[in-house]
């Protein structure tokens, strides 16, 4: 029983560290992306060309935001599962 408790405690701590690392990585990537982003607004010869270019930029930004949101959610879930494992671990 003692060995199982240690294994559960170690696994819980590992999951918390992995989740926290993923959350920190997501914040780092989003901050770097925010810091280095340059607005590319195209002024085409007509309205259709300008809308086509700018909608492509908008779709690219939405994909990046969706990736960051999913990564942040995954990190949060991993961290909460690790905390649950640590809470269920019997104390000596």
Q: Where do the structural domains in the chain lie, given as residue ranges?
A: 2-88
Cα separation, 37 vs 63, in Å, equals: 15
The whole-angstrom separation of Cα 37 and Cα 58 is 13
Tens digit of each residue's pLDDT (9 = 90 or more) over 36-75: 877 776 666 787 877 777 888 888 889 988 988 999 999 9
Residue 68 CA to residue 73 CA, distance in Å, equals 9
Percent of residues in the chain assigned helix, strand, coil, to nearest 5: 85, 0, 15
Taking the model in full, what pTM does it have? Answer: 0.73
Burial class (CB in 10 A: 0-12, 13-18, 19+), 82: buried
């Amino acid at each position: 029983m003692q060995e199982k408790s240690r294994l559960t405690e170690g696994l819980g701590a590992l999951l918390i560290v992995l989740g926290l690392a993923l959350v920190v990585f997501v914040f780092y990537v989003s901050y770097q992306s925010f810091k280095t982003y340059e607005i590319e607004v195209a002024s085409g010869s007509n309205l259709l060309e300008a809308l086509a270019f700018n909608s492509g930029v908008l779709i690219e930004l939405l994909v990046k935001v969706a990736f960051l949101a999913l990564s942040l959610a995954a990190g949060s879930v991993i961290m909460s599962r690790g905390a649950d494992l640590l809470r269920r671990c019997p104390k000596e």
